[in-house]
């Protein structure tokens, strides 16, 4: 599994997704792109991929594709319309891209050509994460803001329980 921290300039969301689909098809990989403001850490993405693969292996998947199942797990929801808020929109964004399986190295090369090296890179906008994952003040106060990653990972894990 490769997790890339890049800057993506998206002119048209559908065109960008078509290019990502081509990478998936050409190299038989799972490939997904996230707006980095919704990703708390690399571990967040790793856990989403691991759980999505397990869901497919068990025949418990909700999505038709493994890449979409990864997005659902990363978002901690079974609602595709909610999960897609984590995706890239038109404009320039810090992006987290994951590639797993198949011809991984060749797929990474293709994704690198779709994006560029960021000047700076930041994971997770705290306010956006709290809102997106529905984290309450009580939860945050109980563990402390420095444990935000744990709270988000709990939401990812709870998705298995809520099937």
Q: Name the stretches of the chain with pLDDT < 70.
A: 161-163
Rounded Cα distance, 56 and 160, in Å: 12
For the chain, the domains span: 2-161
Q: How far apart are CA 95 and CA 85, in angstroms?
A: 13
Position 162 scores a pLDDT of 63
Q: What's the pLDDT score for residue 163?
A: 58
pLDDT at 159: 78
Domain covering 2-161 in this structure, CATH number = 3.30.2380.10
Residue 8: φ, ψ to 5°: -115, 130
Helix (H) or strand (E) holding 57: helix 42-57
What b/e sequence results for 20-33 when a residue is b if at least 16 CB atoms lie within 10 Å of its CB, and e otherwise?
beebbeebebbbbb
- Residue closest to 87 by CA, chosen among 10, 159, 24: 10
C-alpha torsion 63→48→114→111, nearest 10: -100
pLDDT at 128: 92
pLDDT digits (tens, 9 = 90+) for 107-131: 999 999 999 998 888 898 888 999 9
pTM, 2 dp: 0.92
Strands (E), the chain: 2-10, 30-35, 91-100
What's the CA angle centered on 6, arms 17 and 91, to 5 degrees?
A: 55
Query: According to the model, what pLDDT value does residue 117 have?
Result: 92
Residues forming beta bridges with residue 7, ordered by sequence position: 94, 116
């Amino acid at each position: 599994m490769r997790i890339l921290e890049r800057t993506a300039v998206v002119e048209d969301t559908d065109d960008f997704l078509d290019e990502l689909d081509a990478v998936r098809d050409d190299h038989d990989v799972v490939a997904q792109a996230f707006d980095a403001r919704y990703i708390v850490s690399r571990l967040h993405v790793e856990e989403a991929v691991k759980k999505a693969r397990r869901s497919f292996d068990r025949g418990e998947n909700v999505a038709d594709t493994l890449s979409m199942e990864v997005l659902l797990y990363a978002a901690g929801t079974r609602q595709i319309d909610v999960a897609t808020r984590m995706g890239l929109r038109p404009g320039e964004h810090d992006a987290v891209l994951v590639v797993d399986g198949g011809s991984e190295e060749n797929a990474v090369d293709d994704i690198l050509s779709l994006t560029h090296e960021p000047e700076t890179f930041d994971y997770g906008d705290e306010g956006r994460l709290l809102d997106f994952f529905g984290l309450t003040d009580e939860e945050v106060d109980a563990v402390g803001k420095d444990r935000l990653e744990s709270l988000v990972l709990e939401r990812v894990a709870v998705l298995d329980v809520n099937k």
